[in-house]
Structure formats: C-alpha cells, structure tokens
Structure 1
Amino acid sequence: MSLERAVQLRDMHRPEEAEAMLLQHLAGSPEDVTGHVELALTRYQMEGRGKDALESIQRAIGLEPDIADFFAIQSLIYNKLGKDGDSLAAAERAIALDAEMAFGWAAKGAALGSMKKWSQAEEACREALRLDADYEFALNQLAIFLRMQGKVDGSSAEVAARLERDAEDPLAHANAGWASFQSGDLKQAEVHFQEALRLDPSMEYARMGLRETFKARSVLYRGYLKWIFFLQKYSDKQQLLIVLGIFLAYRLGRGLLASIDTRLAIALMVLYLFFAFGTYLASGIGGFLLLRDKAARLTLNRKEKQEGLFVGGGFFLGLALIGLSFFVFRPLVFPGAALVLACIPGGMFWDNDSKAGRWVFGGLMTLVYGCGLGLFLSILLTGSIGDTGRSFISTALLASFGSTWLAMIPGLRGQKGE
C-alpha cells in the first residue's frame, strides 16, 4: 500500500514525500526490488538527485540483473548526469535483454540525442514506435530529433499528431512550441509554451522555451539563433569546414584593417569573438535583454538574472567603450575589449553549479578585468603600451580563450542532474 501511495505522490509532483515513504518501506523490506526501482524513478524527478537515483537503480540491478527495464531506467539516469557513453551502453544492454521492448530503443534514442547523433537517434525512436505506435516518450523525442536536423515540417507533423491524440500533454505542447519557434512563428511558440506550463508549471523544458521566445524578440538574438539552426543541418565535419572558412576570412580581414587603423582591427576581433564564442555569450546577452521587460523577466531565475546583468551588460558596456575610443579617447578600447573578453569565462561562471568551476572561471574573469584595468592605467601613466602592456594583453587573451578549453572538463561546468 505504501508503494502505491508513494507513486501517487510522485505523480502529484510531491517527490520529497514520495521519497520519504519509499525509504520507510525499504527500511522494513531492504530486498524489495520494486521499492528500489520506484525510489530511483522518484529521485530521477528531483533536482540534483541524479547520483542518488543511479545508486537506487544499481541496487535494483544488483538484486535482479536480467531485467531489461532496469537498464533502460539506468540509461535515462546516466543521460541526466551527462554520462552519454554509459547511457548508451545501458540502453544497448536493455535491448540485448529484450529487443522487443520499446522503452530500450527510446532510451537509446535519448542517449544518441545527447551525443548529437540526430539521425541515429531518429532511427532508434522510429524502432521504438514500430514496437509501440502510441509510445509518448518516443513520439516526443522523435519530434525533437527531427527539429534538430532541420526537418521542421516533419517535426511539426509529429507534434500535431501527438496533440490530436492528447491535447492535454504538456510535453507535446512544449515540442509544438519549439517547432514553431524554429520555424519563426514566435507568437504560436509562446502560446504552446504557456499552455505547457499551465499543464505542468514545473516543466523546465517549456520554461526555457518561453524564455528563448522572449529573447528572440531581439534582432541580434534572432540572428544568433538562425546561425545555430543553420549549423544544425550539417554534419560535424561540414560545420568545421564552415567555421575554418570564416576564420581564414577573419585573419585576412584583420591583417588588412590593422594596416589602416588598429582600432578597426580590434573592432573586427570583437565581432569575430561574438561569432566564435557566441555559445558562451548568447545566454547572458539574451538574459540582459529580458531584464528590460517586466513580463519576460519573470522567466529568469536568480542566476540567469546575474548572468544577464554581468555578462550581457558587460558585453554591451565593452562595445560602448570601444565605440567611444574612436571619438573620445583612444585607450578606452582596452578596458572595453577586456569587458568583452571577460564575458567568455563570465558566461561559465554565473550559471555554474560546480563549486570548483565557479572558482576557476570566476578567477579567470577577474584576471581579465584586472588586465584591462592595468593596461589602461599603464597607458595613462606612461603614454604607451610598452612591454608591460603587451603582457597584460597576452594574459587577458590567454585567460579568456583558455577558459573555453577548461569548459570541456565536465567537473568544471557541473553535471546535469547532479
């Protein structure tokens, strides 16, 4: 009876109460496999409890190691923790145990999707739907994977079919919102995201979509999104060729502008940085734009507001100082460039759940600020950049660009679901 009540509480979005009841049940029946599975599913829903969920499902697997469903659940938990390789391996194990179980194929699709292997993820979901044509999880995932490949029409058709079957499904509305968002219909996207949040106020996927819809009111942010959607249509190798081509054009242009005016070369560098490191800057810049709108501001949490203020605000202030250097005081270009460069590690500092990551990226951000200020004061005192100034420039560039390499270390960015 306590297990049934715990499941009811979880379905009512009261996972803390469900967890307490399940722990009480397991205290009296520590070998109850069902109890461990339900505890894993409950913890899976709880913010920051991914590792605990993994521990619970591993306990269940230890008790009964040949149940395909358990490995599919383990795959989803690994996926939430950002451990894509382990997630795929667990899904493959589930399929090996029961190739006719749709859940295993859907879990494989989720793992492949996290690895950005969109076409393979689509195939896995279609296999899941071959086994169970009404499987909601696979249907919603398929809509996402089609959208990520730029197959907006196919994604919209899948979403429309899903909504026709169940107009009260919040995930289907969220997917409809993303499909409308990518096709450029921001008003319809907003309607679907708001409906999804009405049905499930805790759905982060829909809240994020509504937030992105508000950000897309900005011409600058819409341009960035079009670039991202454009790249999604190509393979990793093709994306690399596109980026390399733009880099070569930048190097050529910078050399030509440097021979005319150093400030023009710096301005081009800033534009290129926005292109090259837009992933790190876009969230903060979009957040800054939302801070100016009372309604849109409500979609931001505290960390996102801080990121918008310091990353987005710092970026635009830096651009303003660079602009002023052309008309007011030439050395202003250096603190302006420092503010822009600091946005790169700053984008990995404000909304970072890793304590170590906050120390590292916060330190790099502060170092770039310090180099910009030091260079500016050095020029004021000596009248030239000099060796000291060049050292400041090299250090700031190394700290800013080096932060993108450090960002590849999962422990410094915070794992999903931990």
Structure 2
Amino acid sequence: MLLLRQGRAPQAEQELRRILQTDPTDALAHAWLGMCLLDQAKLEEGQAEAETAIHLAPEYDFAYYLLSLAHLRQHRQPAALVAIEHALALDPTDPNYYHTLGIIRFQRHQWQAALKAAETGLSYDPEHVDCLGLRARSLTRLGRRDEAADALGRALHHDPDDAGTHADAGWVALETGQAKPALEHFRQALRLSPTSEYAREGLVEALKTQYWVYRGFMRFAYWSSSLSDSARRGLFLGLFIFSRFFPLLLPLYLVLVFMSWFADPLFNTLLRFNPYGRHALSATQVRQSTHFSALLGTGLLLLAAGFLTKLAPLNMLGFVAMGLLFPLVGTWRLAVPAQRQRSFWFGVSLAVLGLVAVGITALHLGPPYENIFFGGYIIGTVLYVWFYALR
C-alpha cells in the first residue's frame, strides 16, 4: 500500500473501506485496513479487522501478525505471544514476525530469548534494521556492550535515517550510562519521526539523568532488571530483613523503596522546570506529576503543621496522604484496565479507612475505633506495597 508507506494512513483507510464496500469478504483488504487503524492508534478497531481477516482466511499469516501487534499495543502479552506464534507457524521466514516475538520476550525481561528471536530474524534478512536494533538492546542487557555497539553500527550503516534505529541507539547509550550520545540519538529520532513515543520516552529518561540521584537509581534499576523475577524479589526482601538487624542499611533500603515507587513522577515534576524537558513530557505525564506533587505537598504540609501544633488529627491526615501515594502511582503503572480498576478501588478503600480514622481522632471518639480504622489503613497500605511488588 503506497499511501500507507507514505505515512498517509487516513487516506489509505478511506481507500480500503471503498474496496470493502465492493467486496466485504476480501481478507487482504481487512488486514491492511487493520494496519491503517493500528497506525492511527485505533487499537480495538484494528484488532477487529485483523480478526475478521483471520476468520475469512485462517491461513493468512500477516493477519495473525497484525493481531499480535494489536494485543501487544494493548499490553496483552500472552495473547500477543499466541498470535505471533501462529504467524510464525504459517511463515517461519518473516523477520518482522521474529522482531515482534523478540519485543514480547524483551518486555518480559527474557533477554536471551529476545536475542535469539532477533538473530533468527537476521538469519533471513541480515539488514533488517528492527532486528538489528533489538539485538543491540538485548546484548546490552546481557552485558555484551561491544557486540551491541557493532550491531547498532551495522543498523545505522544500512539505514542512517531510520528513526527506530536512532531510538534504539539512544536506549543502548542510556542503558550504558552515556547520557549525551543518548540525547543526540533521541533528538535525531524525533526529527525523523516527530510522533515516535518510543523516542520521546527515551528523551524524557535521558533528560532525567542530569540529576545524579536518578542517574544512580537508573543504573541500579537496569542491573536489577538483569535478575530473574524471583531473584529481584529476594533482593528487596533480603535488604528489608538485613535492615532490621543492621540499622545502618535502613536509609539505603528506604531510598531504594522510595525511588522504585516515585522516581518517575518526582523527576517528571522537576523536568517541568526544565525549558526543554517541559516540552518532552506527554500530557499524561504532566497531569500525573501535578496529582503526585499535589498529594505529596499536601502530606508534607499536614505533617509539618501537625508537628508544630501538636494536633494528632493533622499528623494522622498527613500520614494518610503520604501513604495514598502508593496506590496513586501504582494504579498509573498498571497497563491492563482490569488491574487498574482493582488498584483504583483498593486505593479508594484505603482513603476511606484513613479519613474515618482521622475523623474519629478529631471527634475524640476513643482509641478502640481509631485503632481499628487506622490499623486497617496501615495494614492495607503495607499489603498493597508487598502484593504489588510480588505480582
């Protein structure tokens, strides 16, 4: 589709809909219409067209590939994996399919499997820039930086004007602690493709590295991501246990917990005072930083007021506000709508428990009721933090 290759997805959509009015059973047209819709971020409509194409032509591998993309962009990794495996079973020689499989593996922190998928794709097309970029990122996470640099050099040699390759180069530079080259690659990627979310997110991360605290935490985060899920959980649990026996470790543990939960909204808020950073943030990031800073500021002010006035209700209300930061940020992080709903309502329940406890304290209704509600709030917050970390 010439229009689609030219980046004119709306015009391509109109043309394909005209074709389908003439022949509504054209599986090829349904599949390409699905691609047009996915390019316009109409994910549910694109998924429906891919499913229609599969219904009309069950052996059409490209339709399964599109279905995988639709699921992947809606954060449904298991369904995306099933669909791309169907596509590969029908055509095991398409490097695009291996790239998508590798992306799913990469998002699951399965670095070796992601590398294998990228290299299999490259065995069918040694110049496939997306597979070259994925191979470089996988090699970086596996600690093979020289090979990663070589892979990126090959990708940029084959297509120096590919926005995705520059974005991949930016992420690799960022993950290896090279903030300035990362910024240049992300800026180049956005110059070539101004709407690239992949590059914009990388640019935001690169800008945050100007803060040494974030830079240090990011190194720790990339290192811990190389561990298995069980090892990563064991690391935080071990630090918690050791901090009970060695109090000097407690500040380190608390800093890691705080940063692992709140680094993104906190440093996004700081970027709003950066003349370049404020334009790099998305509308969602700006809104979230506003909500986060408002709740954090309110909590700190209430705690300060409670300390100065010795009023227990103010202290308790400040403590409640600070604790609610966990479900607030936790809900934003969840991509699956059902999980976000559960997290949201759990946060609302915690807020109700906390506010009732504050009201009981303010009205001097007695310790038993106050302890029940405030104790429920504390237990609920701790359970939320641990269940979220262990999910």
How high is the TM-score relative to the length of structure 1? 0.80
Mean Cα deviation higher: 184-193 or 94-103: 94-103
- Structure 1 position 27 matched with structure 2 position 21: yes
1:123 counterpart letter in structure 2: K
- Within 2, Cα distance between the matches of 1:153 and 1:319? 46
2:90 counterpart letter in structure 1: L
> Helix, strand or coil: the match of 2:58?
coil
Contact 1:88 1:108 in 2 (8 A): yes
Matches within 5 A, 1:12-411: 12-47=6-41, 49-252=42-245, 272=253, 275-276=256-257, 278-315=259-296, 318=299, 329=310, 331=312, 334-349=316-331, 361-365=343-347, 368-369=350-351, 375=357, 382=364, 386-403=367-384
2:263 counterpart letter in structure 1: A
1:346 counterpart letter in structure 2: L
CA RMSD of aligned residues (A): 3.5
Contact 2:214 2:263 in 1 (8 A): yes
- Within 2, Cα distance between the matches of 1:239 and 1:353? 21
2:57 counterpart letter in structure 1: E
- Within 1, Cα distance between the matches of 2:388 and 2:24? 41
- Within 1, Cα distance between the matches of 2:338 and 2:115? 36
Paired residues in the alignment total: 389
Distance of aligned partners of 1:366 and 1:297 in 2 relative to their CA distance in 1, 3 Å threshold: farther
2:289 counterpart letter in structure 1: G
Contact 1:15 1:46 in 2 (8 A): yes
Structure 1 position 172, deviation (Å) = 1.0
1:335-354 deviations in whole A, cap 9, x for unaligned?
44323211111114568788
1:306 counterpart letter in structure 2: R
- Within 2, Cα distance between the matches of 1:328 and 1:173? 56
- Within 2, Cα distance between the matches of 1:328 and 1:151? 57
Contact 1:71 1:91 in 2 (8 A): yes
Q: Percent identity?
A: 24
Distance of aligned partners of 1:87 and 1:362 in 2 relative to their CA distance in 1, 3 Å threshold: closer
- Within 2, Cα distance between the matches of 1:310 and 1:13? 36
Greater relative contact order (Cα < 8 A, sep 6+) = 1
Contact 1:57 1:70 in 2 (8 A): yes
- Within 2, Cα distance between the matches of 1:45 and 1:80? 11
- Within 1, Cα distance between the matches of 2:332 and 2:266? 13
1:309-354 deviations in whole A, cap 9, x for unaligned?
2224533664576678778748565444323211111114568788
2:43 counterpart letter in structure 1: G
Contact 2:133 2:169 in 1 (8 A): no
- Within 2, Cα distance between the matches of 1:85 and 1:51? 17
Q: Which consecutive residues of structure 1, in runs of 5 or more, have no partner in the other structure?
A: 258-267, 411-418
1:68 counterpart letter in structure 2: D
Contact 1:126 1:142 in 2 (8 A): yes
- Within 2, Cα distance between the matches of 1:217 and 1:359? 35
> Helix, strand or coil: the match of 1:40?
helix
Distance of aligned partners of 1:150 and 1:385 in 2 relative to their CA distance in 1, 3 Å threshold: farther
Contact 1:102 1:131 in 2 (8 A): yes
Contact 1:25 1:35 in 2 (8 A): yes
How high is the TM-score relative to the length of structure 2? 0.85
Contact 1:150 1:233 in 2 (8 A): no
1:31 counterpart letter in structure 2: T
- Within 1, Cα distance between the matches of 2:337 and 2:72? 22
